[in-house]
A = this chain, B = another copy of it.
Amino acid sequence: MVDTALAELLASLPSGVLGAAMRAAVFPGGKRLRPLLLLRAGQAFGADPQRLRPLSAALELVHCASLALDDLPCMDDAPFRRGEPSLHRRFSEATAILAAFALLAKAVGEFPALLRQAGLPPAYCEGWTGRLSQLVETLCEGQQLDLARHGTATVAELERVHAGKTGAFFAFAAELGAFVAGADPASVECVRSFARNLGLAYQVLDDVADATGGQGWEGKPPGQDARHGQCTFVTLLGVEGARQLASELLSTAEACLAPLSRRAEPLLGFVNHVRALL
A residues sitting closer than 8 Å to B (CB atoms) are: 14, 16-18, 65, 69, 72, 74-75, 92-95, 97-102, 104-106, 108-113, 116, 122, 125-126, 129-134, 136-137, 140-141, 143-145, 147-148
Contacts and interface: CB of A to CB of B under 8 A. Distances in A.
B74 A93 contact: yes
B136 A101 contact: yes
Q: Please report whether the interface of chain A is mostly helix, strand, loop or mixed according to DSSP.
A: helix
Contacts of A145: 16
A116 B109 contact: no
Contacts of A125: 112, 126
A102 B72 contact: no
Given A140-B98, A143-B98, A129 B112 contact: yes
Nearest to A18: B144
Contact of A133 (B17, B109, B116, B140): B109
A109 B130 CA distance: 5
A136 B148 contact: no
A128 to B, nearest CB: 9
A143 B112 CA distance: 27
Nearest to A115: B126
